[in-house]
Amino acid sequence: MKTQECPRCANLARLSKRTFSDQALAALVVWNDLSEKLIDESICDDCYGELRDILIERIEEVKSVSPRTFNRAS
């Protein structure tokens, strides 16, 4: 299995692209849980799980974050 350094946590892991809604990404960037330059990058399972848990925990706050559109590569 090919592993690479995760751009978020620097662990060596298998990386893959994750899909979050623009609203969720906006919240994660505002909270500094995800760097804006990483929104279109592949991250590891641990980071994905962490971000997903944050979003679940703070779902009410996510709703109050202004939606924004991010430029994505594809």
Q: 51 and 33 in contact (C-beta within 8 Å)?
A: yes
- The reply to whether 54 sits near Zn ion by the rule CB under 5 A is no
- The reply to whether 44 sits near Zn ion by the rule CB under 5 A is yes
Q: 36 and 29 in contact (C-beta within 8 Å)?
A: yes
- Choose which of 25, 47, 51, 55 interacts with Zn ion (CB under 5 A): 47
40's CB contacts (< 8 A; 6+ apart) are 70, 71, 72, 73
- The reply to whether 9 sits near Zn ion by the rule CB under 5 A is yes
Q: Which is nearer to Zn ion, 6 or 62 (CB)?
A: 6
Give contact residues for Zn ion (rule: CB under 5 A): 6, 8-9, 44, 47
